[in-house]
A and B are shown apart, each in its own frame.
Chain A
Amino acid sequence: MWAQSSRRDLALAALLLIALVALPYIFPHPAMRDFIIYVIAYGLLAMSLNLLVGFTGLVSFGHAAYFASGAYIFGLLMQSGEVSIPVAMLATVGGTALLALVIGAICVRLHEIYFAFLTLAFQMFIHSVILTWVSLTGGDQGLMGGIPRPPFLGIDLGNSMTLYMFCVVLFVICLVIMRQIVQSPFGYTLRMIRDNPRRANFLGVNVVAMKLAIFVIAGAIASVGGIVMALFVSGAYPEFAFWTTSGEAIFMIMLGGTQLFLGPLVGAILLQTLNHFVTIYTEHHGLVLGIVILIFVLGLRRGLADYVYELIQSRKAAAAEPKPRAEPAQATFTDETRLADKGANT
């Protein structure tokens, strides 16, 4: 069953890859490519955060620390001139995973607000290190001088089209990995921990180890987002590690939804699109974005993807059911847990 589902996911991933590769040929404007790369970077940040928030119930306020770690480690390695891009990427993902392991080992033992605030504290600690270790990080001015992109295996990331293709491939690989994780027995164990950690514990699940594992995986994937951003802006900046970047990722999840696999990506697209257009027309973008988020929170009470999915499901259910009978009203699909049971697999 799982193998069948995996094959379907791989086929969908291949289709997505083909669509993204074809897009610049349909809309050959460079701005389209820039926009997609930007969405990919923040999309990976939001989706990796959702592995914690949506699938494990760990609300991390400090996830951008790993995004920044990805950008800085990759940038510093490339500026050293000692390593090639693939080696730097592997070292970055490995280094960030190690960082997440150390931080996670301390944080995942805590619950709810204590976990959230400790992750935030670690993020601000990393932000302070970036600001004060000027000789290494460039302090508040960031990594200066650009990030070299020497060609490797015939791939020249100095070419903007090649960079786009590279980022798209990287994105789809990360999507497949995340999808396999949430669909695996490990992914279902995470949901069980989210819904009832005590029961999971009684069933013999090592809850702390599971939480730590997903914390490390999420951190490593966020670092790939950081690498994409570093390649795009050819630099790394302390703002990447500031709490507002984590806040943006949480906004993306709120806009897109936590229960569907692609929900945070929808949120990332929504937020970046809103940001793009609102900024053109007004300086009061904070106000506009605030109102939009308020509408989602108060009006929809969930992210857009969750809302649409639920709507489709309820219509399908209504169509499939025979005419209403004089029986007690059935539970509706508004129950979040039920949505999670059905929707998280989607």
Chain B
Amino acid sequence: MIKTKRGVSRRNFLKGAAGAAAAGAVGTTITGFPHIAGAQAKTIRIGMPTILSGRVAILGTSSRSAVQLAVQQFNEAGGLNGRTIEVIYRDSKGRPDEAAKVTRDLINNDGCEIIIDGEASSGSFAVQEVIRELPVLCLHTCSESSTLTADPKLHVKTAFRSARQGVHDAVAGGRYASELSKQKGLKRWMTCSPDYAYGRDNTAEFLEYAKKFDPSIEVLDQVWPKLFQPDYTENITKILQVQPQAMYSALWGGDLVAFIEQGNLYGLFNNITYFSGGLGDPPVLTAIKQLPVGLHTVYRYNELYPNNPENAAFAAGYKKLANQEPTNWSWQNYLATSFIFEALKRTNGNTEGAALAAEVKGMEIASPFAVEGKITMRDSDHTIIGYPAAWGVTVPKFPYVENFQSVPWSEILELEAEWKKSKGYA
């Protein structure tokens, strides 16, 4: 007699249960728990893709600390009619595709209703395309690439930039450098910038405006060390060989620290007037063991400039929370939260992207970082104006950079308009 098995055997039952559990686990974890729609949620969720690992992790960690500080202050002050804000941070590892995926995930899976994009340039372009498809309010806080907001083809209605912009810095830098060149007779120039698009573009724009203001400037040579190059001996000896009177460098972060340390060994800065597009960040300034006196740098951040109690309070709060000096990215992110909080107040907590964007567009904020009273989120191209586009000179001790000279924004805007026309953006 054939014995027919009925029902489910123990082995099959266990197999089935394990399979169902695995499918359930994968399903739940990937799909996430259903989030409550923004209008009803007590907590407002903000997502922040940024770079938290690798060589430029300081970009993400200093951005994150600034947002943490702002949100902590906002929540402690009672939030928005009792509603608090929660920020979810994700590491994109500096990869644009990962930035896009993580941003989609923050919106679709974690229920984030606002995005603070703490990505470097290429990542921010990737995030911009996600926002085009999933139109929540987005503030780019680290990308300095002018194209992101200047090019009308890239325009996204709910995306804004709360960060300095390359062309603004180029105008301010060119104007500042040309005044010194005229004053000191600095005719023979050289450049030393990292060999990638940002380094080359930034250097070209600086020289364009420096020459515009002082046509007698002549560039004798240009050297292009690789990004993250550990040894600059070859470049330094080349500069010493050419013997320029002045030089511009777009080196930044650890590369700049290494370049200055190695330059000190050769006495590079004794007879050359040095202009830097990246030295002004306090962590960079403090990382250099012997900071040469008299180097000229663009403002990145300084707790004594703009010299007001709010800026000093920001620096103190940041240092207490992060246990390090604020960076350029820190103030930009802190400023971004100010736009977001104000927009949320004006919409009475409505987190719908279009509603928030309508409020942020053209918004003027009395910020600790404003040099002419307020910082404005310009409505025409969704980028900020009125922030410190200034240059200063290094001193060996705190505050490391002083004697900041700000270029009037009216002049920057005038030349920016010309630049836009030349690029076909206006």
Contacts and interface: CB of A to CB of B under 8 A. Distances in A.
A144 B123 CA distance: 11
A285 B92 CA distance: 11
A30 B108 contact: yes
Interface stretch (B29-37, B173-181, B257-265): B29-37
Interface string B355-391: 0000000000000000000000000000000000000
Contact of B121 (A131, A140, A280): A140
Contacts of A140: 121-122, 196-198
B100 A232 contact: yes
A146 B129 contact: yes
A3 interface: no
Contacts of B130: 233-234
B53 to A, nearest CB: 5
Nearest to B123: A237
A235 B32 contact: no
Interface string B189-202: 00000001110000
A35 B105 CA distance: 9
A278 B100 CA distance: 17
B295 interface: no
A229 B105 CA distance: 16
Nearest to A36: B30
B327 interface: no
B97 interface: yes
A131 B97 CA distance: 17
Nearest to A41: B97
B121 A31 contact: no
A164 to B, nearest CB: 12
Contacts of A26: 27
B105 A233 contact: no
- Interface size grouping (class) on chain B: 35 or more
B90 A284 contact: no
Interface in A110-147: 131, 134, 139-142, 144-146
Contacts of A145: 151, 153-154
A284 B101 contact: no
Nearest to B92: A279
A237 B126 contact: yes
Interface centre among A30, A35, A140, A277 (most CB of B within 10 A): A140
Interface string B387-405: 0000000000000000000
B104 A34 contact: yes
A31 B109 contact: yes
Given A131-B197, A283-B57, A34 B108 contact: yes
A189 to B, nearest CB: 36
Contacts, number: 109
A237 B96 CA distance: 7
A289 B25 CA distance: 20
Interface in B137-185: 145, 147, 151, 153-154
A285 B93 CA distance: 10
Contact of A144 (B53, B104, B147): B147
Contact of A139 (B30, B31, B133, B197): B197
B31 to A, nearest CB: 4
B51 to A, nearest CB: 10
A314 interface: no
B125 interface: yes
Contacts of B102: 279
Nearest to A142: B122
A233 B57 contact: no
A146 B132 contact: yes
A128 to B, nearest CB: 10
A277 B126 contact: no
B207 interface: no
B126 A142 contact: yes
B95 interface: yes
Contacts of A240: 97
A206 interface: no
Given A34-B104, A237-B97, A131 B125 contact: no
B52 interface: yes
B138 to A, nearest CB: 14
A284 B93 CA distance: 11
A32 B104 CA distance: 11
B255 interface: no
A199 B97 CA distance: 44
Interface string A45-63: 0000000000000000000
B29 A239 contact: no
Interface string B95-125: 1110011101100110000000000011001
B27 A279 contact: no
A6 to B, nearest CB: 28
Contacts of A280: 90
Contact of B129 (A32, A233, A279): A233
Nearest to A33: B108
Contacts of B91: 279, 283, 285
16 contacts: A27-B31, A35-B30, A140-B198, A141-B121, A142-B125, A146-B154, A160-B133, A229-B97, A232-B100, A235-B129, A239-B96, A239-B97, A276-B30, A280-B90, A283-B91, A285-B53
Interface of A: 26-27, 29-32, 34-35, 38, 131, 134, 139-142, 144-146, 160, 229, 232-235, 237-240, 273, 276-277, 279-280, 283-286
Given A142-B125, A229-B97, A285-B53, 10 more contacts: A31-B31, A34-B101, A139-B197, A141-B197, A144-B147, A234-B126, A237-B122, A238-B122, A240-B97, A279-B102
